């Protein structure tokens, strides 16, 4: 099943060695690190993140 992962650049999970490389371990994943965002990124970048999620769903027919 396709998965979309949105990561905040100010989150502890994105610190350290290649956070996007880590998402590749999941399999069928689309991942993005959002600049100037905290773990509350869905409330910080509401429209852009919603658009990107919708595009991902459409591309994967979910």
pLDDT in tens, the chain (62 residues): 888 888 888 888 787 668 888 888 888 888 888 888 888 888 888 888 889 888 888 887 75
Residue 42 lies in a domain: no
Cα–Cα distances (Å) from 50 to 21, 41, 42, 60, in that order, read 23, 11, 8, 15
**Domain membership of residue 17 as a residue range:** 1-36
Split into its structural domains, the chain has a count of 1
**Coil, strand or helix at 13:** helix
Residue 43 lies in a domain: no
- 11 CB-contact burial (10 Å; exposed 0-12 / middle 13-18 / buried 19+): middle
Which pTM does this prediction carry? Answer: 0.69
């Amino acid at each position: 099943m396709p998965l979309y992962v949105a990561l905040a650049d100010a989150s502890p999970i994105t610190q350290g060695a290649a956070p996007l490389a880590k998402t590749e371990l999941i399999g069928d994943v689309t991942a993005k690190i959002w600049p100037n965002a905290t773990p509350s990124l869905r409330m910080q970048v509401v429209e852009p993140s919603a658009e990107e999620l919708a595009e991902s769903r459409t591309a994967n027919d979910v």
